Amino acid sequence: MIVYEVNKPLEAADVARLFDASTIRRPTGDLPRIARMLQHGNLTVSAWDGGKLIGISRSLTDFAFCCYLSDLAVDKTYQHRGIGKEMIAITQREIGDGVALILLAAPEAMDYYPKVGFAKIDNGYIIKRRR
Higher pLDDT, 22 or 129: 22
Query: What DSSP state is assigned to residue 72?
Result: E
User: For residue 77, is it within any domain?
Assistant: yes
Report how far Cα 63 is from the mean position of its chain's Cα atoms.
Answer: 16
**For residue 48, what are the domain limits?**
2-115
The enclosing H or E element of 32 equals helix 31-40
pLDDT of residue 124: 81
Question: Does the predicted TM-score (pTM) go above 0.85?
Answer: yes
User: For residue 129, is it within any domain?
Assistant: no
User: For residue 121, is it within any domain?
Assistant: no
pLDDT digits (tens, 9 = 90+) for 2-28: 999 999 999 999 999 999 999 899 999
pLDDT of residue 3: 98
User: For residue 120, is it within any domain?
Assistant: no
User: For residue 34, is it within any domain?
Assistant: yes
User: For residue 122, is it within any domain?
Assistant: no
Are the CB atoms for 12 and 29 separated by under 8 Å? no
The enclosing H or E element of 50 equals none
pLDDT digits (tens, 9 = 90+) for 97-127: 999 999 988 777 788 888 888 888 888 887 7
User: For residue 62, is it within any domain?
Assistant: yes
Q: Output the domain CATH number for residue 95.
A: 3.40.630.30
Based on the structure, what is the number of domains in the chain? 1
Q: What 3-state class would DSSP assign to 29?
A: coil
User: For residue 60, is it within any domain?
Assistant: yes
